[in-house]
Amino acid sequence: MKGEALARFVARAADDKRAHNIVILNMKGISIMADYFVICHGNSEKQVQAIAGEIEDACEEAGVPLKRMEGFENGRWVLVDLGDVIVHVFHKDDRDYYQLEKLWGDAPMEAYVGEAGENG
């Protein structure tokens, strides 16, 4: 699984742990780091860790290799590197502070709408 399909897969995993304001940024031609960024947040350190853990578990079950995970211990900003997709799971306060969506404002952005038709 790669690219957009992987981005949607991890967005769905984040949604399973009630991540808020899940967005997918298409970084093709904008960043050499990854083709897609998935950005979301939780309202507590425990929720941030639960979201990142769910993404890790879902990827393991699907056979998607996780290259690196950083920041899990603090639960403020967890970065999950899946190669084509980089996931940023923020604590709400840190997401408001860093505003990655504005930093990468030239990237096409899509709000992920979960199965319940909501986006946290």
pLDDT at 114: 76
Better pLDDT: 104 or 92: 92
CA distances from 113 to 93, 101, 117 (A): 22, 17, 5
3-state secondary structure of 88: strand
Query: In the structure encoding, which two tokens stand for residue 89, read together?
Result: 């799971």
Domain membership flag for residue 120 = no
pLDDT tens per residue across span 44-72: 999 999 999 999 999 999 999 999 999 99
Domain membership flag for residue 36 = yes
CA distances from 61 to 7, 49, 77 (A): 16, 18, 24
Domain membership flag for residue 56 = yes
pLDDT at 118: 53
CA distances from 11 to 23, 24, 66 (A): 8, 8, 15
pLDDT tens per residue across span 107-118: 889 998 876 555
**Enclosing H/E stretch for 82:** none
What is the percent of the chain where pLDDT is above 70?
95
Residue 58 domain boundaries = 3-111
Number of domains making up the chain: 1
Residue 101 has pLDDT above 80, yes or no: yes
Domain membership flag for residue 117 = no
Q: Per-residue pLDDT averaged across 73-80, rounded? A: 97
CATH number at residue 9: 3.30.460.10
Average pLDDT, the chain: 92
Domain membership flag for residue 118 = no
Domain membership flag for residue 87 = yes
pLDDT tens per residue across span 5-37: 999 999 999 999 999 999 999 999 888 889 999
